[in-house]
Homo-oligomer: A and B are copies of this chain.
């Protein structure tokens, strides 16, 4: 591992929190964190033992690396807001779905940690795949990434966009299925915990089988009696989801 870097972290949400703690833990110096929201800035700064700023004008200009971990919808605005302050530092963002080019800086790159972060949940950063992109600074970016993760991959913006959609499907939509399942259980007075062995095995299976091979249940068997009975038990909006997904499962099985 090379020398620790001087870093400013822009943002104090879930990604900013976990990433800056991992960098801090790997011996880098977090010089400052920024968040518009004082409470968030304060909380993260206190975890890292560093100062914080709540206005972009107060962001210091002498770091080697700036990492922008903000909502995609404000990324360009925040990136522009730092112009003129940053000298010739390397500027990174962490957004899976945004191209590197949204950063109006000569030295720029992307460090996309593909994981689902919740603020109060510990994650082992070493196991998180990091996808990096930089035309000007790939060696430095790779060194930084490898200091916190054992899984670093170079990937361009176009491919990363697809990766990000795939992640939404395999994580956010999966989690929403857990949420809908939890609602059905709650309605019937059954604790969500009984579902955990099935949830775990469903995830484990695709380590060895393709999702297509792993599929089971009424939709892939096209057991219409069961599907109709299920639909009848569900509220209207969930029924529509049930129907659409069952059709999609069935179609996929037939096309193989």
Say yes or no: is A61 at the interface (Cβ < 8 Å to chain B): no
Of A128, A217, A224, A244, chain B has the most CB atoms within 10 Å of the CB of A217
Question: Is there contact, CB below 8 Å, between A170 and B190?
Answer: no
For the complex, give the distance between the alpha carbons of A177 and B167 in Å: 10
Question: Is there contact, CB below 8 Å, between A203 and B206?
Answer: no
Q: If A197-B115, A202-B203 touch, does A71 touch B245 (CB 8 Å cutoff)?
A: no
Question: Is there contact, CB below 8 Å, between B211 and A182?
Answer: yes
For the complex, give the distance between the alpha carbons of A223 and B241 in Å: 21
For the complex, give the distance between the alpha carbons of A203 and B213 in Å: 20
Of B114, B174, B185, B210, the contact of A174 (CB 8 Å cutoff)? B174
Main secondary structure of the interface of A (DSSP, over half): helix
For the complex, give the distance between the alpha carbons of A115 and B184 in Å: 17
Question: Is there contact, CB below 8 Å, between B216 and A117?
Answer: yes
Residues of B within 8 A of A174 (CB): 174, 177-178, 199, 202-203
Using an 8 Å CB-CB cutoff, how does the interface string of A180-221 with B read, 1 for contact, 0 for none? 111011011110101111111111011111111111111111
Question: Is there contact, CB below 8 Å, between A176 and B245?
Answer: yes
Of B14, B178, B194, the contact of A211 (CB 8 Å cutoff)? B178
Residues of B within 8 A of A72 (CB): 218, 223, 225-226
Say yes or no: is A123 at the interface (Cβ < 8 Å to chain B): yes
Q: 30 A–B contact pairs at CB < 8 A?
A: A73-B225, A97-B226, A97-B229, A118-B205, A121-B208, A127-B197, A159-B189, A161-B233, A162-B184, A162-B187, A166-B190, A167-B198, A169-B178, A169-B180, A170-B202, A172-B216, A172-B218, A172-B219, A172-B220, A174-B174, A174-B202, A174-B203, A175-B205, A176-B219, A178-B206, A179-B210, A179-B212, A196-B207, A202-B203, A203-B203
Interface residues of A (CB under 8 A from B): 14, 71-73, 97, 114-118, 121, 123, 127-129, 151, 153, 155, 159, 161-182, 184-185, 187-190, 192, 194-203, 205-221, 223-226, 229-230, 233-234, 237-238, 240-242, 244-245, 248-249, 251-252
4 pairs of A and B residues whose beta carbons are closest in the complex? A172-B217, A162-B188, A179-B211, A170-B181
